[in-house]
Amino acid sequence: MDTGTAAPESDATEEPRWTGLPGGLLSMRRLLLAGWLGVIAVAGGILLWIFAAPGWAAFAVLPVALLVWGWVMLGRNWRSWRYAERADDLLISRGVLWREETVVPYGRMQLVEVTSGPLERRFGLSSVQLHTAAAATDARIPGLLPEEAARLRDRLTELGEARSAGL
């Protein structure tokens, strides 16, 4: 006999709410790719022109082809990164060809740190590094806005302390 009330769904069966990475990370990585491959193309073309023959300088186009391919691949990789905060754990998903999903239980977190190198700071980005008791489950979320990285650090630290208190 149906009473007309549905049983509440548990958090485990709900689809997680995924959050992607900001576009600044993609811009930074594409700038690095273009910068390095541009230098290689110009230097390679000049060196081939001087030391081989002018015809060999055409091989400097290879880094440009790599730039086009890398540009597309960086976009696909950037879109594959995402994370979701659930009731008992943090999910981190990444990868285009080989999909990798990491589940980090809040109670297993020992340290949450926010880092930002010089290039990341120039683009206004930070990374969150999660350390657990098992080194194999350490996780990293790159390219977050500093405010989001600090919020995530504080929330994960708070949840980690609350969950580990019962151990």
Tokens 């086009």 correspond to what residue? 68
72 vs 95: CA distance, rounded Å: 14
Question: What is the structure's pLDDT at 4?
Answer: 47
Confidence band for 67, pLDDT divided at 50, 70 and 90: very high
Spatial strand order of the sheet with 109-115 comes to: 109-115, 126-132, 139-144
The model's pLDDT over 72-111, given as tens digits with 9 standing for 90+, comes to 999 999 999 999 999 889 999 999 999 999 888 888 888 8
pTM for the model: 0.78
Is residue 91 within 8 Å of 84, Cβ to Cβ?
Answer: yes
Give the 3-state secondary structure of residue 81: coil
Confidence band for 55, pLDDT divided at 50, 70 and 90: confident
Q: Is residue 13 over pLDDT 70?
A: no
Helix (H), strand (E) at residue 109: strand 109-115
Question: What is the structure's pLDDT at 90?
Answer: 92
Q: Where are the alpha helices (DSSP H) in the chain?
A: 23-51, 61-80, 118-122, 146-164
**β 139-144/126-132 pair status:** antiparallel
